[in-house]
Amino acid sequence: MAAPIRPLIEHTEAVGGTAAAYAKITGSALAAQLTLYATPAPK
C-alpha cells in the first residue's frame, strides 16, 4: 500500500519540503493495525 504514497514523499524531500500525514493505530497488544491517511500522488 505504500506505493502510491512513496513518490509524494520522495518528491517532497527532493524539493526540501516536509510531508504530513496522520495515522491511526487500532487493535490489541497482540495484533495492532496501523492505518496511514495521506493524499496520494497524482498519476
Place of cell 514523499: 9
Is 16 a member of any domain? yes
Is 1 a member of any domain? no
pLDDT at 1: 47
C-alpha of 20 from chain center: 8
- Strands 22-27 and 32-37, by their bridges, are antiparallel
pLDDT above 90: percentage of residues in the chain:
14
Q: Which domain holds residue 21?
A: 6-37
Is 24 a member of any domain? yes
Is 31 a member of any domain? yes
CA–CA separation, 14 vs 30, rounded Å? Answer: 38
What's the domain count of the chain? 1
> pLDDT (tens digit, 9 = 90+) per residue, 18-37?
877 788 999 988 999 888 78
Is 20 a member of any domain? yes
CB-based contact 39:8 (threshold 8 Å): yes
Neighbours of 6 (CB within 10 A): 10
